[in-house]
Copies of this chain bind each other. A is one copy, B any other.
Amino acid sequence: MRTGRPRGFCIETALDRAMTVFWQKGYEGASLSDLTQAMGINPPSLYAAFGNKEGLFRAVLERYDGRRKELMDSVMAAPDAKTAAQLFLEGVAEFSADTNGRNPPGCLLVQSGLSCSDQDIPDVLAQHRAEKEKMLRERFERDRKDGNLPKSANPTVLASYLVAMANGMCVQASAGASTKDLMAVVKLALDAWPVGDKPAKKSARTLQRAV
């Protein structure tokens, strides 16, 4: 077993509380006092566990990804590309406007620091967002290869479109849009989804190119 005095607080709980602070105030707006107070610990405990403020933030982002894993899993497991797109956007509409717990509306990866005094913060956020876009792109590439997407469709553009839509919805959620509002947008957004070009799925829509 590990030697030394055992840690007196739960890392996961502390990260959850730090997440709320970063989410509400942004990376730079969240002061060390805000964070330690919310986490219920003193500065040395924070620095011992996470190195510094940026280290804590990165740990929070990892945990945030964990919270979104369930949604991404269901998206990746969807039977076809359009269902995947629908699950993705509806999931975003759901959680981004949901203030169930103490988390603010919106998405941590969008609103905690697109612009910052320290450029590392926008960069790491962009990496996390890009990771999700990559998952979608690779899934759509497989779909296209398997004939579940028209050959005319461009997986890169489709993934970019969905992520842009999702991020935009998060911006609106942060300003007060409801899940219902966002669901209406999602429904419209899915009308752009490419169908036809393959006999796999029949649709009332005519042929159209995706890109």
- B-binding residues in A (CB < 8 A): 22-26, 28-31, 104, 106, 110-118, 122, 126, 129-130, 154, 157-158, 160-161, 163-169, 171-172, 174-177, 181, 184-185, 187-192, 194, 204-206, 208, 210-211
Contacts and interface: CB of A to CB of B under 8 A. Distances in A.
Contacts of A23: 115
B184 A160 contact: yes
Contact of A168 (B28, B167, B192): B167
B29 A116 contact: yes
Nearest to A34: B117
Contact of A192 (B129, B164, B189, B206): B189
Contacts of A174: 114-115, 122, 126
Contacts of A175: 122, 126, 129-130
| Copies per assembly | 2
Contacts of A172: 160, 163-164, 167
Given A110-B114, A114-B171, A171-B114, A177 B160 contact: yes
A168 B22 CA distance: 21
B166 A185 contact: no
A102 to B, nearest CB: 14
A177 B164 CA distance: 11
Contact of A115 (B104, B126, B210): B104
Contacts of A110: 114, 171
25 contacts: A24-B115, A25-B116, A26-B115, A26-B116, A29-B115, A31-B117, A104-B115, A111-B114, A111-B115, A114-B174, A157-B184, A157-B185, A160-B172, A160-B185, A161-B185, A161-B188, A163-B172, A164-B171, A165-B168, A165-B189, A167-B171, A167-B172, A188-B211, A192-B192, A205-B208
